[in-house]
Structure 1
Amino acid sequence: MTRDDQILKAAEELFYQRSFDGVGVDEIGQAAGVSGSAIYRHFEGKNEILETLFDRAVDALLMGLPDPNDHPHDELRELIDSFVQFAQTNRMLASIWEREHRSLREPYRRRHQRRLRQYVERWVDCLSKCYPGWAEGRLLVAIRAAQALMMSDATRPGRGSSRDVGGLLSAMALRSFEVLDSPPRSDTQLGM
């Protein structure tokens, strides 16, 4: 394991346990077996460490993307399953990625959003085919809500989860999109 990897592993564990704001560079260094000042030989600071962890999350999501499918509902199931797989196999990283978005500072935030756009566009494209007529903004809301559901087990405190929780989360997420089967309605018709 390289020194960068040791630092990232230590930071991931500490950010997961105590949050980005709850951890200092010296603590990351100590957990990685180096001095806090030695961190700066590898990273510009805590923000770059967080950005690197976010890059790893996006890399895992992009690598897990299924091949495009001529059957959009099958593709949606595959997108859901790959997202649940990401959350279940990368619990700490998924939890940090989910809850620390506001901690990411510029220019890292802009770069992360640019990288993530490719992943989100794949979801929007698939949902547009499955449920035509919905505005992109509404589809983005549905995607964020379903992804929060799929992350719910990974972001809860505690160790591990039952083996069958991934299937349950996938099924719940798939069913949550069924609300889009109805034609788009105004916010007042939706009770908002």
Structure 2
Amino acid sequence: MTEARPRSTRPRDRKQQIIAAASEQFRASGFHNVGISDIAEAVGISGPAVYRHFRGKQELLHATLADAIDKNTESFHGEYADLRELLDAVAAGTLERRHTGVLWERELAHLPPEQRQELRARYVATIEPLRTAIAASRPDLTAGAVEVLLRAIIAVFAAMSQHAGKVDPARARPMMTDLAVLLCEFRGLESGDGAADGGRPVPRGRLLPVSRREAVLVAATRLFAERGYEAVGMEDIAAAAAGMAGPSLYHHFSGKPAILVAALTRCLEAMLFDLSAALEYAEEPGQALDAALYSFVRISIQHGDAMRALLHEIVNVPAEDRQAVRRMQHDYVAEWTALLSGHRPELSAAEAELLVHTAHSVVTTLSQVDEIWTSRARRQDIVALGRTVLGLPVDAPPAD
């Protein structure tokens, strides 16, 4: 008589396993490039087993984002002696969940508006203790200026946790905490009433280039930034490009992926072109880095659509083109890293690169959030905050 085999039991944390696998898959490949079967394979179960817990991929995305918010709650809502202790706890918690910032920034748009609103409200409630602590430590600041510092600090945590892999783990957390404290002490936002000096230009007529190819690129970049790459069709691009017919787009581009590659390449080439001028005319690394920073701020403000596409849509670039685009990104960061290492030789190469990524994150975050511009952040403020991150003289004269 054969002995009966015990029935396998479903792990009690199966739902959490699925959420963790989905989070990693969405982060690495993008929501639209991941199937339920991919997530199931990562967990070691069948596709139908995923549907026992979630009705579909969109519900699973909502669960991953809600889970990320919930896991951050403990860090923000603990009992702390002072602001530094709070910031250190948030730094530690963020390092434990290194890539959730990417997931939040890139994939939130794939949820229905009511779910996006609900998650944003939960996120705002989660980080509220940090906002309150900043305001208490800086009674000289307006509510708008506190918002600027809050967004900058959140950008520091997101970027440094994401790119901290090469840095000595014993150094990553203190670097994050020290930099967050430094930003809390930033002077320069105490006065002023808005974006009157160098602020974001307000789009009005949105004039398009005469060239049909250029008009297609401008319209597509804006649509990709507003709706997300997957939500935009060739007919949408044609209609936005001065009422062109859809088929006529193929006279200029082989398809939507080619338009995305052209948009990203153009943005990176512009950044590298400006950087070459900084290298040509600067007399020492810090001066060149400051000029590069000023250029990056200007491009981020004036060409925010392209920057958003660059940040969030590279996962949709065809595999055969992605390496070249990534190489351009790497070259741009590497030039900044070399300049920062020359200016601050006490930093390791990994630490310098981490600060470069962080400066980029702070600049793009502040230059792309419109409500901040209605409060206080002006171009020179963003430059000064970027200088603070990099360790450049904050009150140096403008680089242009």
- Is the Cα–Cα contact under 8 Å of residues 48 and 108 in structure 1 kept in the other structure? no
Which protein, 1 or 2, shows the higher relative CO under an 8 Å CA cutoff with sep ≥ 6? 1
Q: What CA distance in whole angstroms lies between the structure 2 residues aligned with 1:68 and 1:168?
A: 19
What secondary structure, in the 3-state scheme, does the structure 1 residue paired with 2:100 have?
helix
Matched residue pairs, number?
186
Matched, 1:61 2:72: yes
* Structure 1 counterpart of 2:50, from 39, 55, 64: 39
- Cα distance in 2 for partners of 1:134, 1:25 equals 48
In 1: Cα distance, 2:173 partner to 2:126 partner: 21
1:160, distance to aligned residue in structure 2 (A): 6.3
Supply the distance in 2 between the matched residues of 1:160 and 1:53 (Cα, whole angstroms): 26
Deviation at 1:94, TM superposition (A): 4.5
Q: CA deviation at 1:188?
A: 4.3
Q: 2:119 aligns with which of 106, 112, 116?
A: 112
Which of 36, 39, 42 is the aligned partner of 1:25? 36
| 3-state SS in 2 of match to 1:144 | helix
Q: Aligned in 2, Cα 1:104/1:138: closer, same or farther, shift over 3 Å?
A: farther
* Among candidates 126, 139, 154, match of residue 132 of structure 1: 139
Q: Are 2:184 and 1:177 aligned?
A: yes
CA RMSD of aligned residues (A): 2.6
Percent identity, aligned pairs only, is 26
Give the C-alpha shift of residue 168 in structure 1.
0.7
Contact 1:153/1:161 (<8 A) preserved: no
Residue 171 and residue 104 in structure 1: after superposition, are their counterparts in 2 closer, same or farther (change >3 A)? farther
Cα separation, partners in 2 of 1:23 and 1:120, compared to 1, 3 Å:
same
Q: Distance in 1 between matches of 2:112 and 2:148?
A: 23
Pairing 1:48–2:59 present: yes
The SS at the match of 2:112 is coil
Instruction: Write the mapping of 1:138-157 to structure 2, written as runs, cut at 5 A.
Output: 138-156=145-163
Find the structure with the greater CA-based Rg: 2
2:168 alignment partner AA: S
- Secondary structure in structure 2 of the residue aligned to 1:21: helix
Secondary structure of the corresponding residue to residue 152 of structure 1: helix
Quick one: which amino acid aligns to residue 135 of structure 1?
Answer: T
Asked if structure 2 preserves the Cα contact closer than 8 Å seen for 1:10 and 1:31, the reply is yes
Distance 1:37 1:137, change over 3 A: farther
- Deviation of 1:10 after TM superposition, in Å, equals 1.8
**How far did residue 45 of structure 1 move?**
1.7
Amino acid at match of 1:140: E
Q: Does 1:96 align with 2:107?
A: no
- Shift in Å, 1:43: 0.8
